A and B are shown apart, each in its own frame.
Chain A
Protein backbone atom coordinates (compact mmCIF):
# COMPACT_ATOMS: atom_id res chain seq x y z
CA UNK A 1 0.00 0.00 0.00
CA UNK A 2 1.36 3.40 -1.00
CA UNK A 3 2.17 5.87 1.82
CA UNK A 4 0.81 9.44 1.63
CA UNK A 5 4.47 10.57 1.51
CA UNK A 6 5.15 8.64 -1.68
CA UNK A 7 2.12 10.25 -3.27
CA UNK A 8 3.42 13.70 -2.27
CA UNK A 9 6.76 13.00 -3.90
CA UNK A 10 5.25 11.80 -7.11
CA UNK A 11 2.97 14.84 -7.24
CA UNK A 12 6.00 17.10 -6.74
CA UNK A 13 7.88 15.25 -9.49
CA UNK A 14 4.95 15.77 -11.77
CA UNK A 15 4.92 19.52 -11.07
CA UNK A 16 8.66 19.78 -11.69
CA UNK A 17 8.34 17.82 -14.90
CA UNK A 18 5.47 20.06 -16.12
CA UNK A 19 7.44 23.20 -15.32
CA UNK A 20 10.38 21.85 -17.31
CA UNK A 21 8.12 21.14 -20.25
CA UNK A 22 6.77 24.69 -20.17
CA UNK A 23 10.32 26.07 -20.05
CA UNK A 24 11.39 23.96 -23.02
CA UNK A 25 8.34 24.99 -25.01
CA UNK A 26 8.88 28.70 -24.48
CA UNK A 27 12.60 28.41 -25.21
CA UNK A 28 11.90 26.63 -28.46
CA UNK A 29 9.25 29.11 -29.59
CA UNK A 30 11.63 31.97 -28.77
CA UNK A 31 14.37 30.21 -30.73
CA UNK A 32 12.00 29.76 -33.65
CA UNK A 33 11.18 33.46 -33.68
CA UNK A 34 14.86 34.39 -33.58
CA UNK A 35 16.14 31.97 -36.19
CA UNK A 36 13.25 32.11 -38.66
CA UNK A 37 12.15 35.70 -39.17
CA UNK A 38 10.31 36.20 -42.44
CA UNK A 39 12.66 36.94 -45.33
CA UNK A 40 12.95 40.68 -45.95
CA UNK A 41 11.08 40.31 -49.25
CA UNK A 42 8.25 38.56 -47.43
CA UNK A 43 7.58 41.21 -44.82
CA UNK A 44 6.26 44.76 -45.15
CA UNK A 45 5.98 47.80 -42.92
CA UNK A 46 2.46 49.12 -42.50
CA UNK A 47 1.04 51.99 -40.47
CA UNK A 48 -2.60 52.45 -39.49
CA UNK A 49 -4.66 53.97 -36.71
CA UNK A 50 -6.31 51.56 -34.29
CA UNK A 51 -8.86 52.93 -31.82
CA UNK A 52 -7.42 56.41 -32.20
CA UNK A 53 -3.79 55.37 -31.75
CA UNK A 54 -1.27 55.41 -34.60
CA UNK A 55 0.47 52.01 -34.90
CA UNK A 56 3.34 50.93 -37.10
CA UNK A 57 4.22 47.27 -37.57
CA UNK A 58 6.66 45.25 -39.64
CA UNK A 59 4.72 42.12 -40.50
CA UNK A 60 5.08 38.87 -42.37
CA UNK A 61 2.94 39.55 -45.46
CA UNK A 62 0.76 36.57 -44.56
CA UNK A 63 -0.51 38.22 -41.37
CA UNK A 64 -4.24 38.86 -41.57
CA UNK A 65 -5.60 42.05 -40.05
CA UNK A 66 -7.22 39.79 -37.43
CA UNK A 67 -3.90 38.25 -36.38
CA UNK A 68 -2.19 41.66 -36.41
CA UNK A 69 -4.82 42.99 -34.00
CA UNK A 70 -4.84 39.97 -31.71
CA UNK A 71 -1.27 38.67 -31.77
CA UNK A 72 0.75 41.81 -32.44
CA UNK A 73 -1.32 44.59 -30.85
CA UNK A 74 -2.86 42.29 -28.19
CA UNK A 75 -6.37 43.58 -28.88
CA UNK A 76 -7.99 40.25 -28.18
CA UNK A 77 -11.56 41.56 -28.09
CA UNK A 78 -11.84 40.77 -31.80
CA UNK A 79 -12.43 37.03 -32.03
CA UNK A 80 -11.24 34.36 -34.44
CA UNK A 81 -14.10 32.00 -35.25
CA UNK A 82 -13.92 30.24 -38.59
CA UNK A 83 -11.02 32.30 -40.03
CA UNK A 84 -12.72 31.99 -43.46
CA UNK A 85 -15.25 34.84 -43.53
CA UNK A 86 -18.22 32.63 -42.74
CA UNK A 87 -19.00 33.47 -39.10
CA UNK A 88 -18.42 37.21 -38.63
CA UNK A 89 -16.78 36.89 -35.17
CA UNK A 90 -13.81 38.92 -36.46
CA UNK A 91 -15.89 41.87 -37.68
CA UNK A 92 -14.12 45.22 -37.19
CA UNK A 93 -14.69 48.67 -38.67
CA UNK A 94 -12.29 49.99 -41.29
CA UNK A 95 -12.91 53.66 -42.04
CA UNK A 96 -16.33 53.08 -40.49
CA UNK A 97 -17.32 50.09 -42.64
CA UNK A 98 -17.68 46.58 -41.29
CA UNK A 99 -15.35 43.93 -42.70
CA UNK A 100 -14.16 40.43 -41.83
CA UNK A 101 -10.68 41.03 -40.37
CA UNK A 102 -9.76 37.40 -41.15
CA UNK A 103 -10.12 37.89 -44.91
CA UNK A 104 -7.86 40.86 -45.39
CA UNK A 105 -4.10 41.23 -45.04
CA UNK A 106 -2.82 43.71 -42.48
CA UNK A 107 -0.30 45.10 -44.99
CA UNK A 108 -3.21 46.13 -47.25
CA UNK A 109 -4.35 48.75 -44.71
CA UNK A 110 -1.71 51.45 -44.92
CA UNK A 111 -3.21 54.71 -43.62
CA UNK A 112 -6.57 53.17 -42.68
CA UNK A 113 -8.54 53.89 -39.53
CA UNK A 114 -9.55 50.74 -37.69
CA UNK A 115 -11.98 50.42 -34.81
CA UNK A 116 -12.22 47.23 -32.76
CA UNK A 117 -14.63 46.42 -29.93
CA UNK A 118 -12.10 47.95 -27.49
CA UNK A 119 -12.48 51.25 -29.35
CA UNK A 120 -16.29 51.03 -29.47
CA UNK A 121 -16.63 51.32 -25.70
CA UNK A 122 -15.14 50.29 -22.37
CA UNK A 123 -16.55 49.08 -19.02
CA UNK A 124 -18.04 52.16 -17.38
CA UNK A 125 -18.34 53.88 -20.74
CA UNK A 126 -20.30 51.48 -22.91
CA UNK A 127 -21.47 52.28 -26.41
CA UNK A 128 -25.29 52.27 -26.53
CA UNK A 129 -25.14 49.07 -28.61
CA UNK A 130 -23.00 47.34 -25.98
CA UNK A 131 -25.40 48.44 -23.24
CA UNK A 132 -28.38 47.23 -25.26
CA UNK A 133 -26.79 43.79 -25.77
CA UNK A 134 -26.33 43.56 -21.98
CA UNK A 135 -29.89 44.76 -21.26
CA UNK A 136 -31.48 42.36 -23.75
CA UNK A 137 -29.25 39.34 -23.04
CA UNK A 138 -28.06 39.45 -26.66
CA UNK A 139 -25.61 36.61 -26.09
CA UNK A 140 -24.96 33.44 -24.15
CA UNK A 141 -21.29 32.43 -24.39
CA UNK A 142 -20.31 35.86 -25.71
CA UNK A 143 -17.77 34.69 -28.28
CA UNK A 144 -19.57 36.17 -31.30
CA UNK A 145 -20.59 39.32 -29.39
CA UNK A 146 -17.74 41.72 -30.30
CA UNK A 147 -18.35 40.90 -33.97
CA UNK A 148 -22.14 41.21 -33.56
CA UNK A 149 -21.77 44.63 -31.93
CA UNK A 150 -19.28 46.04 -34.46
CA UNK A 151 -21.42 44.66 -37.27
CA UNK A 152 -24.69 46.05 -35.90
CA UNK A 153 -23.25 49.54 -35.36
CA UNK A 154 -22.01 49.70 -38.97
CA UNK A 155 -25.21 48.06 -40.22
CA UNK A 156 -27.35 50.88 -38.78
CA UNK A 157 -25.00 53.37 -40.48
CA UNK A 158 -25.57 51.51 -43.77
CA UNK A 159 -29.33 51.93 -43.39
CA UNK A 160 -28.83 55.62 -42.52
CA UNK A 161 -26.73 55.95 -45.70
CA UNK A 162 -29.66 54.45 -47.65
CA UNK A 163 -27.84 51.27 -48.69
CA UNK A 164 -30.52 48.74 -49.67
CA UNK A 165 -30.67 45.05 -48.73
CA UNK A 166 -32.01 41.83 -50.22
CA UNK A 167 -35.33 42.32 -48.39
CA UNK A 168 -35.79 46.00 -49.28
CA UNK A 169 -39.02 45.98 -51.29
CA UNK A 170 -38.54 49.23 -53.21
CA UNK A 171 -35.00 50.03 -54.34
CA UNK A 172 -35.90 53.62 -55.10
CA UNK A 173 -37.41 54.33 -51.64
CA UNK A 174 -35.36 55.11 -48.51
CA UNK A 175 -34.15 52.06 -46.57
CA UNK A 176 -36.22 51.30 -43.45
CA UNK A 177 -35.38 49.78 -40.09
CA UNK A 178 -37.53 46.68 -39.60
CA UNK A 179 -36.89 43.34 -37.93
CA UNK A 180 -36.73 41.69 -41.36
CA UNK A 181 -34.12 44.23 -42.50
CA UNK A 182 -32.04 43.72 -39.36
CA UNK A 183 -32.12 39.93 -39.69
CA UNK A 184 -31.13 40.00 -43.36
CA UNK A 185 -28.37 42.55 -42.85
CA UNK A 186 -26.92 40.68 -39.86
CA UNK A 187 -26.77 37.30 -41.65
CA UNK A 188 -22.98 37.51 -41.84
CA UNK A 189 -22.77 37.14 -38.05
CA UNK A 190 -23.43 33.65 -36.78
CA UNK A 191 -24.39 33.03 -33.12
CA UNK A 192 -23.79 29.39 -32.23
CA UNK A 193 -25.82 29.82 -29.01
CA UNK A 194 -28.79 31.11 -31.00
CA UNK A 195 -29.30 34.42 -29.20
CA UNK A 196 -30.70 35.93 -32.38
CA UNK A 197 -34.07 37.11 -31.10
CA UNK A 198 -32.44 39.06 -28.25
CA UNK A 199 -29.80 40.44 -30.61
CA UNK A 200 -32.55 41.77 -32.87
CA UNK A 201 -34.26 43.34 -29.84
CA UNK A 202 -31.04 45.03 -28.74
CA UNK A 203 -30.40 46.44 -32.20
CA UNK A 204 -34.02 47.54 -32.57
CA UNK A 205 -33.81 49.44 -29.29
CA UNK A 206 -30.68 51.33 -30.39
CA UNK A 207 -32.15 51.98 -33.85
CA UNK A 208 -35.30 53.41 -32.25
CA UNK A 209 -33.27 55.68 -30.03
CA UNK A 210 -31.39 57.00 -33.06
CA UNK A 211 -34.53 57.56 -35.13
Chain B
Protein backbone atom coordinates (compact mmCIF):
# COMPACT_ATOMS: atom_id res chain seq x y z
CA UNK B 1 0.00 0.00 0.00
CA UNK B 2 1.27 3.50 -0.81
CA UNK B 3 1.68 5.97 2.05
CA UNK B 4 -1.02 8.59 2.59
CA UNK B 5 -1.99 11.29 5.04
CA UNK B 6 -5.26 10.98 6.95
CA UNK B 7 -7.86 13.27 8.48
CA UNK B 8 -11.17 12.79 10.26
CA UNK B 9 -13.74 15.14 8.78
CA UNK B 10 -16.32 16.75 11.05
CA UNK B 11 -18.71 18.40 8.56
CA UNK B 12 -19.83 17.42 5.07
CA UNK B 13 -18.88 20.82 3.69
CA UNK B 14 -15.35 20.59 5.13
CA UNK B 15 -14.98 17.07 3.80
CA UNK B 16 -16.05 18.06 0.27
CA UNK B 17 -13.80 21.11 0.30
CA UNK B 18 -10.79 19.14 1.54
CA UNK B 19 -11.30 16.50 -1.13
CA UNK B 20 -11.53 19.12 -3.88
CA UNK B 21 -8.44 21.06 -2.80
CA UNK B 22 -6.09 18.19 -1.93
CA UNK B 23 -4.68 16.49 -5.00
CA UNK B 24 -5.06 12.71 -4.77
CA UNK B 25 -7.58 12.82 -1.90
CA UNK B 26 -10.33 10.24 -1.45
CA UNK B 27 -13.15 9.76 1.03
CA UNK B 28 -13.15 6.61 3.12
CA UNK B 29 -16.30 5.27 4.80
CA UNK B 30 -16.61 1.49 5.26
CA UNK B 31 -13.40 1.04 3.29
CA UNK B 32 -14.20 -2.55 2.34
CA UNK B 33 -13.62 -1.95 -1.37
CA UNK B 34 -11.17 0.97 -1.24
CA UNK B 35 -8.69 -0.71 1.14
CA UNK B 36 -8.80 -3.92 -0.87
CA UNK B 37 -7.82 -1.91 -3.96
CA UNK B 38 -5.22 0.15 -2.07
CA UNK B 39 -3.44 -3.02 -0.97
CA UNK B 40 -3.11 -3.97 -4.62
CA UNK B 41 -2.07 -0.39 -5.49
CA UNK B 42 -4.94 -0.13 -7.93
CA UNK B 43 -6.18 2.78 -5.82
CA UNK B 44 -3.33 5.04 -4.71
CA UNK B 45 -4.79 8.00 -2.81
CA UNK B 46 -2.24 10.32 -1.20
CA UNK B 47 -4.76 11.58 1.35
CA UNK B 48 -7.76 9.91 2.99
CA UNK B 49 -10.70 11.84 4.42
CA UNK B 50 -12.53 9.68 6.96
CA UNK B 51 -16.23 10.58 6.72
CA UNK B 52 -17.50 8.10 9.32
CA UNK B 53 -18.17 10.79 11.94
CA UNK B 54 -20.36 12.99 9.74
CA UNK B 55 -23.58 11.72 11.31
CA UNK B 56 -25.05 10.64 7.98
CA UNK B 57 -26.25 7.37 9.48
CA UNK B 58 -29.99 7.93 9.91
CA UNK B 59 -33.00 6.77 7.90
CA UNK B 60 -35.67 9.46 8.00
CA UNK B 61 -39.12 9.93 6.45
CA UNK B 62 -39.40 12.57 3.71
CA UNK B 63 -42.33 14.99 3.36
CA UNK B 64 -43.21 13.16 0.11
CA UNK B 65 -43.83 9.91 1.99
CA UNK B 66 -40.51 8.28 1.09
CA UNK B 67 -37.32 7.68 3.05
CA UNK B 68 -34.01 9.53 3.12
CA UNK B 69 -31.20 7.04 3.74
CA UNK B 70 -28.01 8.62 5.11
CA UNK B 71 -24.90 7.91 3.03
CA UNK B 72 -23.26 6.15 5.98
CA UNK B 73 -26.11 3.79 6.87
CA UNK B 74 -24.46 0.36 6.89
CA UNK B 75 -25.83 -2.30 4.55
CA UNK B 76 -26.88 -4.46 7.53
CA UNK B 77 -28.85 -1.65 9.14
CA UNK B 78 -30.53 -0.67 5.90
CA UNK B 79 -31.58 -4.26 5.15
CA UNK B 80 -32.90 -4.71 8.70
CA UNK B 81 -34.82 -1.44 8.95
CA UNK B 82 -38.50 -2.18 9.59
CA UNK B 83 -39.73 0.39 7.06
CA UNK B 84 -37.46 -0.98 4.35
CA UNK B 85 -38.54 -4.55 5.11
CA UNK B 86 -42.19 -3.57 4.94
CA UNK B 87 -42.35 -1.06 2.08
CA UNK B 88 -39.19 -1.63 0.02
CA UNK B 89 -38.63 -5.39 0.32
CA UNK B 90 -36.73 -5.35 -2.96
CA UNK B 91 -34.00 -3.26 -1.37
CA UNK B 92 -33.74 -5.48 1.71
CA UNK B 93 -33.55 -8.58 -0.46
CA UNK B 94 -30.88 -7.13 -2.75
CA UNK B 95 -28.70 -6.06 0.19
CA UNK B 96 -29.00 -9.46 1.86
CA UNK B 97 -28.02 -11.20 -1.37
CA UNK B 98 -24.69 -9.36 -1.43
CA UNK B 99 -21.33 -9.87 0.31
CA UNK B 100 -21.02 -11.45 3.80
CA UNK B 101 -22.32 -10.55 7.25
CA UNK B 102 -18.98 -8.99 8.19
CA UNK B 103 -18.81 -6.86 5.04
CA UNK B 104 -22.42 -5.70 5.29
CA UNK B 105 -21.71 -4.50 8.84
CA UNK B 106 -19.11 -2.06 7.49
CA UNK B 107 -20.19 -1.29 3.90
CA UNK B 108 -22.19 1.91 3.50
CA UNK B 109 -25.03 2.98 1.23
CA UNK B 110 -22.94 5.52 -0.69
CA UNK B 111 -19.89 3.29 -0.85
CA UNK B 112 -21.96 0.46 -2.24
CA UNK B 113 -23.06 2.67 -5.15
CA UNK B 114 -19.49 3.79 -5.88
CA UNK B 115 -17.78 0.41 -5.49
CA UNK B 116 -15.66 -0.62 -8.43
CA UNK B 117 -15.88 -3.54 -10.82
CA UNK B 118 -14.57 -7.00 -9.92
CA UNK B 119 -13.39 -7.62 -13.52
CA UNK B 120 -10.36 -9.90 -13.05
CA UNK B 121 -8.29 -7.79 -15.45
CA UNK B 122 -9.00 -4.62 -13.47
CA UNK B 123 -7.58 -6.46 -10.44
CA UNK B 124 -4.58 -8.00 -12.22
CA UNK B 125 -2.02 -5.21 -12.45
CA UNK B 126 0.08 -7.25 -14.91
CA UNK B 127 -2.67 -7.00 -17.52
CA UNK B 128 -3.76 -4.06 -19.65
CA UNK B 129 -6.97 -2.41 -18.44
CA UNK B 130 -8.39 0.86 -19.76
CA UNK B 131 -10.24 1.45 -16.53
CA UNK B 132 -7.17 1.06 -14.33
CA UNK B 133 -4.67 2.56 -16.78
CA UNK B 134 -6.40 4.60 -19.49
CA UNK B 135 -5.18 3.78 -23.00
CA UNK B 136 -3.48 0.50 -22.04
CA UNK B 137 -6.11 -1.71 -23.71
CA UNK B 138 -8.67 -4.24 -22.52
CA UNK B 139 -7.49 -7.74 -21.71
CA UNK B 140 -11.03 -8.89 -20.96
CA UNK B 141 -12.32 -8.61 -24.56
CA UNK B 142 -10.35 -11.67 -25.67
CA UNK B 143 -9.90 -13.06 -22.16
CA UNK B 144 -11.91 -14.74 -19.44
CA UNK B 145 -15.16 -12.81 -19.80
CA UNK B 146 -17.77 -15.21 -18.48
CA UNK B 147 -18.66 -12.92 -15.53
CA UNK B 148 -18.57 -9.64 -17.46
CA UNK B 149 -21.02 -7.26 -19.10
CA UNK B 150 -23.06 -7.94 -22.22
CA UNK B 151 -24.80 -4.62 -22.69
CA UNK B 152 -23.75 -0.96 -22.37
CA UNK B 153 -20.19 -2.06 -23.14
CA UNK B 154 -17.63 -0.54 -25.52
CA UNK B 155 -14.49 -1.61 -27.38
CA UNK B 156 -12.55 -0.12 -24.46
CA UNK B 157 -14.25 -1.96 -21.58
CA UNK B 158 -16.69 -4.77 -20.79
CA UNK B 159 -16.52 -4.52 -16.99
CA UNK B 160 -19.79 -4.88 -15.07
CA UNK B 161 -21.04 -3.08 -11.99
CA UNK B 162 -20.98 -5.53 -9.08
CA UNK B 163 -23.65 -4.05 -6.78
CA UNK B 164 -26.86 -5.82 -5.83
CA UNK B 165 -28.15 -2.83 -3.85
CA UNK B 166 -27.85 -0.49 -6.83
CA UNK B 167 -30.14 -2.76 -8.89
CA UNK B 168 -32.90 -2.36 -6.30
CA UNK B 169 -32.25 1.39 -6.03
CA UNK B 170 -32.61 1.70 -9.82
CA UNK B 171 -35.89 -0.22 -9.88
CA UNK B 172 -37.17 1.94 -7.00
CA UNK B 173 -36.16 5.22 -8.76
CA UNK B 174 -33.90 6.36 -5.92
CA UNK B 175 -32.30 9.80 -6.04
CA UNK B 176 -28.73 10.42 -4.88
CA UNK B 177 -28.17 13.60 -2.86
CA UNK B 178 -24.73 15.18 -2.75
CA UNK B 179 -22.89 18.22 -1.52
CA UNK B 180 -20.50 19.85 -3.97
CA UNK B 181 -17.10 21.29 -2.98
CA UNK B 182 -18.57 24.83 -2.87
CA UNK B 183 -21.19 23.62 -0.39
CA UNK B 184 -24.11 23.52 -2.87
CA UNK B 185 -26.31 20.45 -2.64
CA UNK B 186 -27.51 18.62 -5.75
CA UNK B 187 -29.74 15.68 -6.58
CA UNK B 188 -28.84 13.03 -9.15
CA UNK B 189 -31.38 10.37 -10.19
CA UNK B 190 -29.77 6.94 -9.82
CA UNK B 191 -30.33 6.38 -13.53
CA UNK B 192 -27.86 9.21 -14.25
CA UNK B 193 -25.25 8.44 -11.57
CA UNK B 194 -23.17 5.85 -13.40
CA UNK B 195 -21.67 6.48 -16.83
CA UNK B 196 -21.27 3.97 -19.62
CA UNK B 197 -17.61 3.31 -20.46
CA UNK B 198 -17.44 4.61 -24.04
CA UNK B 199 -13.77 5.44 -24.61
CA UNK B 200 -13.28 6.69 -21.02
CA UNK B 201 -14.03 3.66 -18.82
CA UNK B 202 -11.97 5.13 -15.97
CA UNK B 203 -14.69 7.78 -15.46
CA UNK B 204 -17.45 5.76 -13.83
CA UNK B 205 -19.93 8.32 -12.49
CA UNK B 206 -21.02 11.93 -12.90
CA UNK B 207 -19.84 13.18 -9.49
CA UNK B 208 -17.22 15.93 -9.55
CA UNK B 209 -13.94 15.77 -7.70
CA UNK B 210 -14.73 16.40 -4.03
CA UNK B 211 -18.47 15.93 -4.43
CA UNK B 212 -19.75 13.87 -1.50
CA UNK B 213 -22.86 11.69 -1.43
CA UNK B 214 -24.88 12.61 1.67
CA UNK B 215 -28.03 10.52 1.22
CA UNK B 216 -30.06 8.32 -1.09
CA UNK B 217 -33.76 9.17 -1.22
CA UNK B 218 -36.48 6.62 -1.93
CA UNK B 219 -39.78 7.92 -3.35
CA UNK B 220 -42.96 6.91 -1.57
CA UNK B 221 -43.61 3.14 -1.59
CA UNK B 222 -44.94 1.71 -4.85
CA UNK B 223 -46.41 -1.51 -3.41
CA UNK B 224 -46.62 -4.57 -5.66
CA UNK B 225 -44.76 -7.83 -5.32
CA UNK B 226 -41.08 -7.04 -4.86
CA UNK B 227 -38.65 -9.79 -5.84
CA UNK B 228 -34.87 -9.94 -6.13
CA UNK B 229 -33.54 -13.08 -7.75
CA UNK B 230 -29.78 -13.55 -8.01
CA UNK B 231 -28.09 -16.25 -10.06
CA UNK B 232 -24.49 -16.98 -9.09
CA UNK B 233 -21.87 -19.71 -9.02
CA UNK B 234 -22.20 -20.28 -5.24
CA UNK B 235 -25.34 -20.18 -3.10
CA UNK B 236 -23.88 -17.42 -0.91
CA UNK B 237 -21.13 -14.79 -0.90
CA UNK B 238 -20.60 -14.51 -4.67
CA UNK B 239 -21.21 -11.82 -7.25
CA UNK B 240 -24.13 -12.16 -9.64
CA UNK B 241 -23.91 -13.70 -13.06
CA UNK B 242 -27.37 -12.21 -13.53
CA UNK B 243 -29.73 -10.70 -11.00
CA UNK B 244 -33.25 -9.43 -11.55
CA UNK B 245 -34.94 -6.91 -9.29
CA UNK B 246 -38.62 -6.39 -10.03
CA UNK B 247 -41.73 -4.72 -8.69
CA UNK B 248 -44.82 -6.36 -10.20
CA UNK B 249 -48.32 -4.95 -9.66
CA UNK B 250 -51.48 -7.12 -9.53
CA UNK B 251 -52.37 -6.06 -13.10
CA UNK B 252 -49.04 -7.35 -14.42
CA UNK B 253 -47.46 -3.93 -14.97
CA UNK B 254 -44.32 -2.95 -13.09
CA UNK B 255 -40.63 -2.24 -13.39
CA UNK B 256 -37.51 -4.32 -13.68
CA UNK B 257 -33.77 -3.68 -13.31
CA UNK B 258 -31.05 -6.21 -14.03
CA UNK B 259 -27.63 -6.65 -12.40
CA UNK B 260 -24.46 -8.44 -13.47
CA UNK B 261 -24.88 -7.65 -17.15
CA UNK B 262 -23.85 -4.01 -17.58
CA UNK B 263 -21.54 -1.25 -16.30
CA UNK B 264 -24.50 0.09 -14.31
CA UNK B 265 -27.77 -1.31 -12.98
CA UNK B 266 -29.62 -1.96 -16.23
CA UNK B 267 -33.16 -0.73 -16.73
CA UNK B 268 -35.08 0.55 -19.72
CA UNK B 269 -38.47 2.12 -19.08
CA UNK B 270 -39.59 0.93 -22.55
CA UNK B 271 -38.85 -2.63 -21.46
CA UNK B 272 -40.91 -2.10 -18.29
CA UNK B 273 -43.86 -1.43 -20.61
CA UNK B 274 -43.55 -4.97 -21.99
CA UNK B 275 -43.96 -6.65 -18.58
CA UNK B 276 -47.60 -7.66 -19.17
CA UNK B 277 -46.37 -9.41 -22.35
CA UNK B 278 -43.91 -11.66 -20.53
CA UNK B 279 -40.20 -12.22 -20.03
CA UNK B 280 -39.31 -12.71 -23.69
CA UNK B 281 -40.75 -9.36 -24.74
CA UNK B 282 -39.10 -7.52 -21.86
CA UNK B 283 -35.72 -9.13 -22.45
CA UNK B 284 -35.81 -8.34 -26.17
CA UNK B 285 -36.21 -4.63 -25.35
CA UNK B 286 -33.70 -4.65 -22.49
CA UNK B 287 -30.97 -6.34 -24.49
CA UNK B 288 -31.56 -4.78 -27.93
CA UNK B 289 -28.01 -3.42 -28.08
CA UNK B 290 -26.28 -6.34 -26.35
CA UNK B 291 -22.76 -7.17 -27.52
CA UNK B 292 -21.82 -10.33 -25.62
CA UNK B 293 -18.55 -12.22 -25.98
CA UNK B 294 -18.55 -15.89 -26.87
CA UNK B 295 -18.04 -16.70 -23.17
CA UNK B 296 -20.85 -14.60 -21.72
CA UNK B 297 -23.51 -14.89 -24.43
CA UNK B 298 -25.28 -17.33 -22.07
CA UNK B 299 -26.30 -14.30 -20.01
CA UNK B 300 -28.80 -13.26 -22.70
CA UNK B 301 -30.73 -16.48 -22.17
CA UNK B 302 -30.18 -16.34 -18.42
CA UNK B 303 -31.74 -12.86 -18.15
CA UNK B 304 -34.90 -14.06 -19.86
CA UNK B 305 -35.15 -17.21 -17.76
CA UNK B 306 -34.43 -15.44 -14.47
CA UNK B 307 -37.06 -12.81 -15.28
CA UNK B 308 -39.46 -15.57 -16.26
CA UNK B 309 -38.95 -17.17 -12.83
CA UNK B 310 -39.49 -13.80 -11.14
CA UNK B 311 -42.75 -13.22 -13.05
CA UNK B 312 -43.97 -16.72 -12.14
CA UNK B 313 -43.18 -16.05 -8.48
CA UNK B 314 -45.02 -12.72 -8.65
CA UNK B 315 -48.11 -14.45 -10.07
CA UNK B 316 -47.78 -17.32 -7.57
The docked-state distance in angstroms from the alpha carbon of A64 to that of B38 is 12
B69 to chain A, nearest CB (A): 17
Is there contact, CB below 8 Å, between B3 and A60?
Answer: yes
Question: Once the chains bind, are B100 and A62 in contact (CB under 8 Å)?
Answer: no
Residues on B with beta carbons closer than 8 Å to the beta carbon of A151:
101-102
Q: Least Cβ distance of B26 to chain A in Å?
A: 13
Quick check: B105 and A98 within 8 Å, CB to CB?
yes
Residues of A within 8 A of B158 (CB): none
Residue from B50, B80, B103 within 8 A of A108 (CB atoms): B50
Query: Which of B29-37, B249-257, B269-277 sits within the interface?
Result: B29-37
When chains A and B are docked, how far (Å) is the Cα of A155 from the Cα of B105?
A: 11
CA distance A64 to B96 in the complex (A): 26
Are B28 and A188 in contact, with the CB atoms below 8 A?
A: no
* In the complex, B298 has a CB within 8 A of chain A: no
Alpha-carbon distance between A154 and B8 when the two chains are bound, in angstroms: 28
Stretch with Cβ within 8 A of A (4 or more), from B85-93, B128-136, B138-146, B308-316 = B85-93
| Residues from chain B with Cβ under 8 Å of A155 in the complex | 101
Partner pick for B101 among A42, A44, A158, CB 8 A cutoff: A158
Residue numbers in B under 8 Å from A163 (CB-CB): 76, 79-80
Q: Which residues of A contact B235 (CB under 8 A)?
A: 184
A165:B36 contact, CB within 8 angstroms: no
A165 and B103: CB pair below 8 A?
no
The interface stretch among A47-55, A82-90, A127-135 is A82-90
* B86 proximity list for chain A (CB < 8 A): 171-172
A99 sits at the interface (CB 8 A): yes
Q: Is the CB of B6 within 8 A of A61?
A: yes
Query: Once the chains bind, are A171 and B102 in contact (CB under 8 Å)?
Result: no
* Distance, CA A32 to CA B32, complexed state (A): 30
Q: Is A185 at the interface (CB under 8 A from chain B)?
A: yes
Given the known inter-chain contacts A98-B102, A104-B106, A172-B86, please indicate yes or no for A166 contacting B96, CB distance below 8 A. yes
Query: A interface, how many residues as a size bin?
Result: 35 or more
Contact assessment for B76 and A99 in the assembled complex, using a CB-CB cutoff below 8 Å: no
* Chain B residue total in the interface (Cβ 8 A): 36
Q: Is A116 interfacial (CB-CB < 8 Å)?
A: no
Across the interface, which residues of A come within 8 angstroms of B48, CB to CB? 61, 105
Across the interface, do A104 and B80 meet the contact criterion of CB distance under 8 Å? no
Given A61-B5, A100-B32, A188-B237, are A164 and B79 also a contact pair (CB < 8 Å)? Answer: yes
Residue A70, interface by CB 8 Å: no
Q: Once bound together, how far apart are the Cα atoms of A59 and B76, in whole Å?
A: 29
CB of A188 within 8 A of CB of B100, answer yes
Decide if B97 is an interface residue (CB 8 Å cutoff).
Answer: yes
- Does B39 make an interface contact (CB < 8 A)? yes
Report Cα–Cα, A39/B6, bound state, in Å: 12
Contacts of B236 in A (CB 8 A): 166, 183-184, 187
Can you name the residue of chain A whose Cβ is closest to the Cβ of B4?
A: A61
Residues from chain A with Cβ under 8 Å of B284 in the complex? none
Among A129-184, those with CB < 8 Å from B are 151, 154-155, 158, 161-166, 168, 171-172, 183-184
Judged by a CB distance under 8 angstroms, whether B206 is at the interface is no
User: CB within 8 A of A172: which of B28, B35, B36, B85?
Assistant: B85
Task: Please pick, from A103, A110, A185, the residue contacting B35 in the complex, using a CB distance under 8 A.
Answer: A103
Query: Which residues of the partner chain B approach A98 to less than 8 Å between Cβ atoms?
Result: 101-102, 105
* Beta-carbon contact of A85 and B103 below 8 Å: yes
Within 8 A of A (CB), among B1-36: 1, 3-6, 8, 28, 30-32, 35-36
Contact A188 B102 (CB under 8 A): yes
| Chain B residues, Cβ within 8 Å of A189 | 100
On whether A171 and B32 interact (CB within 8 A), knowing A110-B8, A158-B101, the answer reads: no
The proximity string for A residues 70-102 relative to B, scoring 1 for CB distances below 8 Å and 0 otherwise, is 000000000000011100100100000111100
Complex: how many Å from CA A60 to CA B48? 13
15 A-B contact pairs sorted by A residue (CB < 8 Å): A61-B3, A62-B1, A62-B3, A85-B102, A99-B106, A100-B103, A103-B32, A103-B106, A104-B32, A105-B6, A105-B28, A172-B86, A183-B236, A187-B100, A187-B237
Interfacial residues, chain A to chain B (CB-CB below 8 A): 38-39, 41-42, 44, 60-62, 64, 83-85, 88, 91, 97-100, 103-105, 107-108, 110, 151, 154-155, 158, 161-166, 168, 171-172, 183-189
Nearest 9 interchain pairs by C-beta: A188-B100, A187-B236, A187-B237, A171-B85, A163-B80, A61-B6, A166-B96, A41-B5, A62-B1
